[in-house]
Structure formats: C-alpha cells, structure tokens
DNA sequence: CCTAGATGAGAACGATCGGTACTATCAATT
DNA sequence: AATTGATAGTACCGATCGTTCTCATCTAGG
C-alpha cells in the first residue's frame, strides 16, 4: 500500500499539474490542433506519466473538461451564495462571466469549444457541454423561482442563450464589452419576467 | 467513372461541386477532423483539381466560408425585403434561422465553428467570422433604425448575442426549439427598445 | 543498502496528414 | 487526326500524429 510520498513524486500533484497545463494549451490552441508533445512540454511531464494517468488523449480531454465544468460550477455557486437573494443573484452570475471576458486572451467556454471541435461525434465533449448547459439552466431556474418569476423555466433557458451568445461573441471578437452587453439584455428580460 | 458530357468538364461547375461537397463534410465532421481525401471522395473530384482550384486546404476552407457567408447574407437580405417593414422584418430574420435549426443534423454557424476550431490563430476563419457578426450587427441596426428604435446600435448588438447564442445551443443540444426561444427573447427586447 | 514505484527523456512504430507527381482518359478545338 | 486542357485515379513524399516501449534517475520504505 503506497503511502503519501514526497512532493515531486506525489501522483496527485503530478496529475493536477498535467490537467492545468493541458487545459491551458487546449484552450489557447484548440484541442485537435494540440499534439500530446505540446502537453508534455507545457506540463513538464513525460508521455509515460500522461498515458498512465489518462489512458489516451481522449481520456485527457475528458478529464480536463470534467475538471473545468466542476470548477466553473463551484465558482458560480460561490458568487451566488455571496450575493443578496433575488435579482442580484442572477446578475452576479453575469458579473462573474464578464470578469472572464476581461481576461487577456479569453477563448470562450471550454465545453462549448470542445463540442464544436468534436461536432458530428457523440462522445464525452458533447455530453459534458450539454451537462454544462443544463447546469446553467437549473441554476437560473432555481434563482428565478426564488426571485418570484412568472415562468422560471422559460426565462432560465433565455438567460442561457444570452450567456452563451455573449461568451461566443466575446471570444470571436476579443471584446470584453460583451459582459456589459449581456447584463443589459438580462436586465430587460428580468424586468419582463419578474 | 462516366463523365457527364458538357457539365463535369466545366471548370465553374467543378469548382462549385467541390465547394458544396467540402461545405457538407466540413460542417458534418469538423474542419480539422476532415482530411483532403474525404473531400475528394465526397466531391468526386481528384486532389489535382482541388489543389488547382484552391491551392491548399486552407484556401479551400476560406473559399467554403466565403461562399457560405455570402449565401447566408443573400438569404437574409431576401427574407427581409419580403417582410413588411418595421418589427416584422426583424422577426423574419429569426424565423429564417429557426428554419435552419429545424434541419436534421444542424451543426451551427459555419463561420463561428471555424473560428472556434481555429482559436488562437488570426487567419481567414476568424476574419470571416468577425465579418459575419458585423453583417448581422449592421443588418439589425438598419432595420431597428427604420423601425424607430431608441438606440439601434445597442439593440442590434443585443440581437446578435441572442442569434448566436440560440444557434450555438441549438447545435449542441440538437434542439430546434431554440428558434422559438430566440423569437421570444427578441419580442421582449423589441418591446423595450421600440 | 536495496528494492519498488513514479517519473523524465526520448527513440520507435504504424497510421494518417497535406501536398506533389505521374499517367490515362475524355471532350472540345484546330 | 492531332492537339490541348481539364480531370480522375493513384502512387508517393516528408511531416506529424497518437501511442508504446526502453532506459536512466529519483525518492520513499524495508
């Protein structure tokens, strides 16, 4: 039974390091365009270690996306908890994504990008993208119900459209202004829905 | 392989046939995932002809996207002309995209997909995607001005967010219902903007 | 000290990629 | 009939891909 090892040889840390580096290079250059050797270089890990941990490039991609969607969900749940209930909680979600748009080299939603690259296939990227959309839908529906919306389900789906549309355009146009744009749309929709 | 007299040896027709086949297979499987040999098979054209016409795969991609954005713009301009001026013209745009969502195997906007696949690069796909977004922005701004909107520029950018968001989600979820979803959002935005 | 496991570095493999070269065929022109 | 241009079919090239394998090194535990 292998006990906790030192630092350099800690498998958990190695795995996390590979995930972080792979997420960065996948996001920057695209998944199909990124070779395993680029992940090797970015992570400072050997191919042996990558394939021992993730089995294949496909497995690595799935692990990266799974990690990413979990982190995004945790961030959203966190900012929602810290915002005053009602309308403010919904706007807090869009303030969070607006801060992502403002990051230099923003590349859009990793899950949507992966599903788009993998189009025609019905693998993990598409499934994770759909789950990611479902998370947003359920989050918005919950917040809208609490805020007393007339039709929380419908309005929730509308907010997801706005969120993903703004994210896509912000990435394509490299324009952080889509954060304010999305917020204005949401304000109008909430005025009509609450 | 029998060659139909007078048609298949027409360079214009050959070029158009390659463009159509390439657009289909690029859209269905993705650009990076599609090899030249698949285009050869789908188009019933030889590599020689493809490279004589387009120079490289990159050139073929650019030609396919250029052709696509021109066709889309023509379709939109056509349906807008046929709709009664004002609010109805704007909704006609969304009715047109809704009919695209309803096509079996809808894969989203070719220009946005290509730009997403090419992320990190600053080539033709990204430029054409930006031009495509600019077309929508200008179309909406023109129609909104004619309809007497208070802030046509701002509302136009909002409508583009809704259009691309609905397109992306419809493709990922394979859900034609995003057409009605987008239309409902647009109705609310127009109620507020006109 | 010695063993075992984790890792880094990189060679090697088969497959596939974008792209080129060559040949034969067909249609229209001369 | 000969010529020319466009095309299909196919073999081929170098590069790169994902993946496996080998070997040396490092660390922790016996």
Asked if the C-beta of A33 comes within 8 angstroms of chain B's C-beta atoms, the answer is yes
Instruction: Note the strand C nucleotides within 7 A of protein beta carbons.
Output: 5-11, 16-23, 26-28
Together in a domain, B34 and B101 = no
Contact residues for A121 (Cβ-Cβ < 8 A; gap 6+): none
Report the pLDDT value the prediction gives residue A13, as an integer from 0 to 100: 84
- More confident site: B153 or A6: B153
Residue A7, classed as helix, strand or coil, is: coil
Residue B183: which pLDDT band, with cuts at 50, 70 and 90? very high
Higher-confidence residue of B12 and A3: namely: B12
- Tell whether B174 and B86 lie within a shared domain: yes
The answer to whether B33 CB is within 7 Å of strand D is no
Per-residue pLDDT reduced to its tens digit, B14-64: 999 999 999 999 999 999 999 999 999 999 999 999 999 999 999 999 999
Residues A93 and A180 in one domain: yes
Together in a domain, B73 and B139: yes
Q: What are phi and psi of B165, to 5 degrees?
A: -65, -45
Other beta carbons within 10 angstroms of residue A188's beta carbon come to 19
Distance CA B163, CA B158 (A): 9
A138 plus A46 within the same structural domain: no
Residue-level pLDDT at A6: 41
A89 contact B CB<8A: no
* Protein-proximal nucleotides of chain D (any atom < 7 Å from a CB): 5-11, 16-23, 26-29
Please give the pLDDT value at position A8: 54
Q: How many structural domains compose chain B?
A: 2
What's the CA–C1' distance between A30 and C7, in Å? 27
Q: Which of A35, A55, A75 is the last residue of a domain?
A: A55
For the residues of B95-108, what is the DSSP string, one character each? HHHHHHHTSTT---
**CA end-to-end span of chain A, whole Å?**
58
Q: Is the CB of A116 under 7 A from strand C?
A: no
Share of chain B above pLDDT 70, in %: 95
pLDDT at B33: 96
Residue of A112, A126, A182 lying closest to B168 (CB–CB): A112
Q: Does the CB of A185 have a partner CB in chain B at under 8 Å?
A: yes
User: Are the Cβ atoms of A161 and B165 closer than 8 angstroms?
Assistant: yes
Of B117, B133, B181, which has the smallest distance from its Cβ to A116's Cβ?
B117
Q: Are the CB atoms for B17 and B39 separated by under 8 Å?
A: no
Q: The domain containing residue B4 runs over which residues?
A: 1-55
Beta-carbon separation of A188 and B184 below 8 A: no
A139 and A66, same structural domain?
yes
> What's the length of chain A?
194
A44 and A122 assigned to the same domain? no
CATH number for the domain spanning A150: value is 1.10.357.10
Q: Are residues A39 and A133 in the same domain?
A: no
Mean pLDDT along residues B140-153? 98
The partner residue sitting opposite A120, judged by closest CB among B30, B112, B182, is B30
CA distance linking residue A114 with residue A132, whole number of Å: 12
* pLDDT on residue B13: 85
Q: Does residue B29 share a domain with residue B125?
A: no
Q: What is the pLDDT of residue B5?
A: 38
Q: Can you tell me the distance from the alpha carbon of A71 to that of A81, in angstroms, rounded to the nearest whole number?
A: 15
Same domain for B25 and B63: no
Specify the pTM. Answer: 0.94
How does pLDDT run along chain A (194 residues), one tens digit per residue? 333 444 456 778 899 999 999 999 999 999 999 999 999 999 999 999 999 999 999 999 999 999 999 999 999 999 999 999 999 999 999 999 999 999 999 999 999 999 999 998 999 999 999 999 999 999 999 999 999 999 999 999 999 999 999 999 999 999 999 999 999 999 999 999 99
How far apart CA B25 and CA B22 sit, in angstroms, is: 5
Same domain, A119 and A171: yes
pLDDT at position A9: 67
Q: Does one domain contain both A76 and A92?
A: yes
pLDDT value for B10: 78
């Amino acid at each position: 039974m292998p006990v906790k090892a030192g630092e350099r040889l800690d498998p958990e840390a190695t795995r996390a390091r590979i995930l972080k580096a792979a997420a960065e290079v996948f996001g920057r250059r695209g998944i199909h365009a990124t070779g395993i050797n680029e992940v090797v270089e970015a992570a400072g890990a050997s191919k042996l270690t990558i394939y021992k941990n993730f089995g294949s490039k496909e497995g690595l991609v799935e692990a990266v996306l799974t990690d990413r969607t979990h982190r995004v969900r945790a961030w959203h749940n966190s900012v929602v908890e810290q915002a005053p209930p009602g309308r403010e909680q919904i706007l807090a979600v869009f303030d969070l994504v607006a801060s992502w748009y403002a990051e230099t080299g923003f590349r859009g939603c990793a899950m949507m990008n992966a599903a788009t690259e993998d189009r025609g296939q019905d693998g993990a990227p598409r499934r994770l993208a759909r789950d990611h959309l479902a998370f947003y839908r359920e989050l918005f529906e919950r917040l809208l119900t609490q805020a007393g919306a007339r039709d929380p389900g419908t309005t929730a789906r509308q907010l997801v459209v706005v969120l993903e549309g703004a994210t896509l355009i912000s990435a394509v146009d490299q324009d952080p202004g889509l954060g304010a744009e999305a917020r204005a749309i949401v304000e109008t929709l909430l005025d009509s829905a609450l």
